[in-house]
Amino acid sequence: MSSVAIPTDIVNVIASELSCGVERAVDCWMSQVEKAVTDVHLTSLGRLNAVHEIVSRYKSLTGKTELTGRPGLNGSPKTRYEF
pTM across the whole model = 0.67
Enter the DSSP assignment of 78.
P
Enter the DSSP assignment of 40.
T
Residue 46: predicted pLDDT: 97
Residue 3: predicted pLDDT: 76
* Digit-coded pLDDT (tens) for 13-72: 999 999 999 999 999 999 999 999 999 999 999 999 999 999 999 999 999 988 877 666
> What distances in angstroms separate CA 37 from CA 22, 29, 71, 73, 79, one per listed residue?
23, 13, 21, 26, 19
> What distances in angstroms separate CA 54 from CA 5, 37, 44, 67, one per listed residue?
42, 11, 16, 13
CB 54 within 8 A of CB 36: yes
